[in-house]
Structure 1
Amino acid sequence: MSNYDVVILGGGPGGYNAAIRAGQLGLKAACVEGRATLGGTCLNVGCMPSKALLHASELYEAATGTEFANLGIEVSPTLNLAQMMKQKDESVAGLTKGIEFLFRKNKVDWIKGWGHIDGPGKVTVTGDDGTKTDLSAKDIVIATGSEPMPLPGVAIDNQRILDSTGALSLSEVPRHLVVIGAGVIGLELGSVWRRLGAQVTVVEYLDRICPGVDGEAGKTLQRALAKQGIQFKLSSKVTGAATSASGVQLQVEPAAGGEAQTLDADYVLVAIGRRPYTQGLGLENVGLSTDKRGMLANQRHRTEAPGVWVIGDVTAGPMLAHKAEDEAMACIEQIAGKAAEVNYALIPSVIYTRPELASVGKTEEQLKAEGRAYKVGKFPFTANSRAKINHETEGFAKVLADERTDEILGVHLVGPSVSEMIGEYCVAMEFSASAEDIALTCHPHPTRSEALRQAAMNVEGMATQM
């Protein structure tokens, strides 16, 4: 039996960051991961490969549409989908190798296989060849992540009916791709294939896209995507699917009930969310059980079982890689005897479509429900010099501030590269900044970031760049 200070189950963003931090703090750490590569869903079949395809498809559309021509760049591009997929895979491989290097640098052991908790402080790892390795540790961290949520009546085969993994690896551009679910994954992957030439229809059970985002921001993004050619069927549910060698017939009816219709597609992407991966971990051997969603409860990352911790998608909170990373740091630092916490009120969220949507803090709907008096400052990218010069003027910056104290309560951005700009407000809000603090802070000109300052200025109706 190999003895460790901490054994971490799962090598995704939560797990590998926990392992690296443990090594940095001088703990003897092992990370159990059964995939052939480290990085979990995010690096292998999620965040990173999807961004590689988003970037490539944006450039392809710019070259094949009017964007390059309007800039005076005349080209005649052709799509080499195999090469696009190859460069995606090469980028992902480089990132996963980077984690292996950090493991070696920080003296972390990667135990290859699938972990099972046999009792307090005991883990058995089963390799792909059936060999078993016994581990012991003072502390065990569960960071096993999540998996795509299935949809009854629509069986995923990754031939014609795809999950997100299958949609990242198609060998041809769909003629008609139907996306079930208007959340982050569905909109991002739908955008990729729409830009590469597919007709894309998004079917959503609710009456809006991206539930949970600021309502005005969500509507603005939907209008932009619809203008690009994505069709939306909201307040609709899929009740069945029939596959053939050449396609899929979906039965779709109104969510409130009514006459069904048939949608013909050659591929269907099921993107209705993700569920925690907690089955088969041996939780019962330490007295743990999940809720009906499969999630484990925690108090500051501790479970009810002594010495067992939980982080990432397997516990409460948004299923985001950066949330798992923050929890990893806080969890390991507590194990090492340090003080640490995660500010769950300030975890940003991003949808990497074009335009992007980025948010942090409260939405207008949440503030109204709380009965909290607030002020709104908005600034459109149509009035931002850099956005106008770059012909990317869709969207706006919106700042919500407390009516009495001027403290920033929420920020919602729709526009170009806003994923790179939301961090400014994350920092500001971590220090309880007021809108006036941002309004008085010099920003470089001409940049898109000036829209952030102008929105803060406009909380008091003082925007100057209109």
Structure 2
Amino acid sequence: MPATAYDVLIIGSGPGGYIAAVRCGQLGLKTALIEKYPTLGGTCLNVGCIPSKAVLESTELYHKATEQFAAHGIDADNLRADLPRLMARKDQVVKKVCDGVVYLMKKNKVDVIHGTASFVDATTVQVAPAAGGSEEGQQLTAKNIIIATGSKPSSLPFITLDKERVITSTEALALRELPQHLIIVGGGVIGLELGSVYARLGSKVSVVEYTDAIIPTMDRTLGKELLRSLKKQGLEFYLSHKVTAVTREGATVKLTASPAAGGADLQLAGDYCLVSVGRRPFTDGLNLAAAGVELDEKGRVKVDEDLQTTVPGIWAIGDVVRGAMLAHKASDEGVFVAERIAGQKPHLNYLLIPGVVYTWPEVAGVGYTEEQLQELGRAYKAGSFPYSASGRAVAGSDTEGLVKVLTDAQTDEILGVHMIGPRIADIIAEAVGVMHFRAAAEDVGMMSHAHPTYAEAFKEACLNAAGIGALNM
């Protein structure tokens, strides 16, 4: 059977792959999208970003009802959370969003092929039929091939992930019983978000982190503030502890960790252990060697500044290449590559890709952290504004957190914005926008912000960084 030819062939339908497919379709390129699983959307839509936000939203509503409604004069007696129903709603959300991707493929005339892809050579891909699927195996050729196969949860060499009691984020998003004691290995974004979910529902949650801070890759101010807030919510933390063993005995999971300061080992026992120590690029089974595509020392696909691999015409995006493992970073790269293939000259500034933690309070940052500016020896000014001084936050009983703005000491250009507080995941977009146009802090201070709003805190922090006193509450 002769191979079917395309302008662009995309392997993987996550937020990098499917967005690349949409943009290729919009640009008039004959495009096919290969996905080995029955549903489109990859990790993000099926077992990551979307389901986690669904359960975070549900449990935040429950937490507000149980902890805050009374202060607002609302009686809500005999409340209870039904975990199976909560998870069923999450499944409905996932289905709706994944169905939306199917619609986008049809709308943009992208051929969707379900099966497992592997390279035959630099322009040919063999697609083995999906298990239980009706489609036959086939060969496809393309002028351009985009690798968008994403990542998988990492573990530690001595930990056996049985996916029953010793679990990854995938299983944690599908539990049908409430853990009595959830032990989390890793104080990063995924562990804290899922820890928040179960702590709100009543589980005891213990977080064991190797470094001396949670969310250690973000500005240290954010980690300190979030740690204080999550402790108030009942989570317990063991920082600067190196996990040395995780074992299961029936329905009990035991963890041993050594404190960096020395002394007796930490011993914890719970009914579930979530291993959340990061993710690894997923290239298994692609047969990259047949195409001549090279990997780096961390198992990532090597790419140049245009995201082209070591083989002309083969590109790679998202978690499978260097950089932060973020869904929106993958999407931005998908658009970038599609436009490069079409002969356009897109631009992508990695410094202006924000990071967000969807706990409550929410956390977000973009640009340089204060620690990075200090390491670079760059002269800067810092301004901040606390949510305890925000009229909107006081009215909404969401006064935890702050906005911190870092600016160039001479030009006042905004170099970094770091936020923790209510609605931060949305407010950070304003910071990204003004930084994209290289605004000064005083510029933002001159912009009208509706009052009262949570976003006013950003304006006030900019005024503070520019040396102007607070104007509002």
Question: 1:258 offset after TM fit, Å?
Answer: 4.9
1:74 paired with 2:75, answer yes
Work out the CA distance in 2 between the residues paired with 1:127 and 1:147.
22
In the alignment, what sits opposite 2:240?
Answer: 235
In the alignment, what sits opposite 2:107?
Answer: 105
1:267 paired with 2:272, answer yes
Amino acid at match of 1:51: K
In the alignment, what sits opposite 1:454?
Answer: 460
> Could you state the TM-score of these two structures normalised by the residue count of structure 2?
0.97
Work out the CA distance in 2 between the residues paired with 1:100 and 1:129.
20
In the alignment, what sits opposite 2:331?
Answer: 325
* Structure 1 residues 258 and 285: CA distance shift in structure 2, 3 A: farther
Work out the CA distance in 2 between the residues paired with 1:247 and 1:465.
53
In the alignment, what sits opposite 1:383?
Answer: 389
Does the 8 A contact of 1:377 with 1:461 survive in 2?
Answer: no
Amino acid at match of 1:125: V
- The counterpart of 1:40, out of the listed 39, 42, 59, is 42
Amino acid at match of 1:40: G
Work out the CA distance in 1 between the residues paired with 2:422 and 2:70.
20
Work out the CA distance in 2 between the residues paired with 1:196 and 1:172.
11
- Give CA deviations for 1:331-352 in whole Å, capped at 9, x if unaligned: 0101011111211110001000
- Give CA deviations for 1:329-380 in whole Å, capped at 9, x if unaligned: 0101010111112111100010000101111100110011111111111000
Amino acid at match of 2:163: N
Question: 1:128 offset after TM fit, Å?
Answer: 2.4
In the alignment, what sits opposite 1:373?
Answer: 379
Question: 1:262 offset after TM fit, Å?
Answer: 1.9
- Give CA deviations for 1:408-445 in whole Å, capped at 9, x if unaligned: 00000010011110000101000000001000001000
* Structure 1 residues 255 and 10: CA distance shift in structure 2, 3 A: farther
The within-5 A match list for 1:86-101 is 86-101=88-103
- The counterpart of 2:416, out of the listed 393, 405, 410, is 410
* Structure 1 residues 166 and 129: CA distance shift in structure 2, 3 A: closer
- Give CA deviations for 1:209-255 in whole Å, capped at 9, x if unaligned: 11111111111111111111110101112111221222101112124
Partner of 1:421, secondary structure, is helix
Work out the CA distance in 2 between the residues paired with 1:116 and 1:308.
13
Work out the CA distance in 2 between the residues paired with 1:336 and 1:266.
53
Work out the CA distance in 2 between the residues paired with 1:261 and 1:120.
51
1:206 paired with 2:211, answer yes
1:296 paired with 2:287, answer no
1:63 paired with 2:65, answer yes
Does the 8 A contact of 2:300 with 2:321 survive in 1?
Answer: yes
Question: 1:257 offset after TM fit, Å?
Answer: 5.6
Does the 8 A contact of 1:249 with 1:265 survive in 2?
Answer: yes
Work out the CA distance in 2 between the residues paired with 1:346 and 1:261.
39
> Could you state the TM-score of these two structures normalised by the residue count of structure 1?
0.98
Question: 1:126 offset after TM fit, Å?
Answer: 0.9
- Give CA deviations for 1:146-202 in whole Å, capped at 9, x if unaligned: 000021222111110010000001111111000000000000000000001100000
In the alignment, what sits opposite 1:338?
Answer: 344
Unaligned runs of 5+ in 1: none
Does the 8 A contact of 2:294 with 2:310 survive in 1?
Answer: no
Does the 8 A contact of 1:147 with 1:274 survive in 2?
Answer: yes
- The counterpart of 2:311, out of the listed 292, 300, 305, is 305
Work out the CA distance in 2 between the residues paired with 1:250 and 1:412.
34
Does the 8 A contact of 2:37 with 2:130 survive in 1?
Answer: no
In the alignment, what sits opposite 2:402?
Answer: 396
Partner of 2:443, secondary structure, is helix
1:148 paired with 2:149, answer no
Work out the CA distance in 2 between the residues paired with 1:237 and 1:112.
42
Work out the CA distance in 1 between the residues paired with 2:295 and 2:156.
21
